[in-house]
Amino acid sequence: MKSLTNVTTFIQVAESQSFVQAANALGLSPPAVSKAIAKLEAELGVKLLHRTTRSVSLTPEGERFYEGMAPLMQEMAALTTELTESLSQPQGRLKVSMGAAYGRIWGTRLMPDFLRQYPQIAVELSLDDRDVDLAAEGVDVALRIGALPDSANLIARPLFTDPLITCATPTYLEQAGYPGHPDDLEHYNCLNFRNRKTGRPMPWFFTIAGQVERRQVNGNLTIDDGEAVGRSAIAGSGISQMPGYMAAEALEKGLLQEVLWEYRPPAVPITALYLERRLVSPRIRAFIDFMVQQRHLTNSASHR
């Protein structure tokens, strides 16, 4: 095909259904747009558009040509942008999705350092616990904790792991005593987190004799917000099992103390998801590499 410019012009006309609007969008005159379409039709040997004084519509051949060419032109534009960006500093808009609690506790804490390192990147941070559709919602990177959803057409990059910490305040433990085995938890007030999706309390996990066991624990307080469970533990309401990133600061300050550490379950993976592409945008690569470097900040305080 002699001129991709004529194809670009056709796609603009097909989407706007107007020679005038297409001309305005492309910075051309309406006669120049009409001439480009005529050249393309002559080259292909088919009529692509029905033209009247009031409207423009696609012929069947035009519809087929549009359906085939529009995605290719979009891919070419994306590829050109990525190649251009690869020659310069990472830049542009970066939309990142994180779980609500992780984003509030660590995402907002890490962003200033990332933006200082990459001042030409503008981050849009979305805090949401649902499984977002990266392509449909324009998300560049999604950070996910634990088991991954269906990740067809996605690249999964492991970042680090996060431990599950069983803990309570030193004051509570001095009064109630220190549990020596997960079986002892039936004598303690355990703070439950209720999963909003299932409506049921989340089980606690322990590694006992080399096997991971799940336990349902009892207590007088059940909350459907993980951060609120953590705050309740810090307030001295009882024992809680929470993600390391949620417990790290309180452990470091001595507000919480870990118990049953010898029965810790396997750490939970934290993974970055991004769309499968021939080239990965430098801003996506920069963000993922930055997050890998932060593993010591997000979970070192929660490792014994």
pLDDT on residue 204: 95
> Mean of the per-residue pLDDT values for the chain?
87
pLDDT digits 0-9 by tens, 135-145: 878 889 999 88
Q: Which of 21, 54, 86 is the last residue of a domain?
A: 86
Parent domain of 172: 164-263
Say whether both 285 and 249 belong to one domain.
no
Say whether both 59 and 188 belong to one domain.
no
pLDDT on residue 70: 85
Read off the CATH number of the domain in which 25 is found.
Answer: 1.10.10.10
Question: What's the average model confidence in pLDDT over 241-269?
Answer: 93
CA nearest to 237, candidates 222, 258, 250, 217: 222
Read off the CATH number of the domain in which 254 is found.
Answer: 3.40.190.10
pLDDT on residue 234: 95
Q: Out of 67-81, 110-124, 242-256, which region has the weakest mean confidence (pLDDT)?
A: 67-81
pLDDT on residue 89: 76
Question: What's the average model confidence in pLDDT over 261-283?
Answer: 86
> What global pTM score does this model have?
0.66
Say whether both 168 and 257 belong to one domain.
yes
DSSP H helical segments within 45-165, as ranges?
A: 60-86, 100-102, 108-117, 134-137
pLDDT for residue 299 is more than 70? no
Residues 6+ apart with CB under 8 A from 211: none
Domain count, the chain: 3
**Residue in the structure block whose two tokens are 């990142």:** 96
Question: What's the average model confidence in pLDDT over 96-119?
Answer: 89
The answer to whether 116 and 94 have CB atoms below 8 angstroms apart is: no
pLDDT for residue 301 is more than 50? no
Higher pLDDT, 198 or 180: 180
Say whether both 72 and 204 belong to one domain.
no
Say whether both 172 and 258 belong to one domain.
yes
Say whether both 159 and 273 belong to one domain.
yes
CA nearest to 257, candidates 274, 245, 240: 240
pLDDT for residue 14 is more than 50? yes
Q: Which of 45, 62, 86 is the last residue of a domain?
A: 86
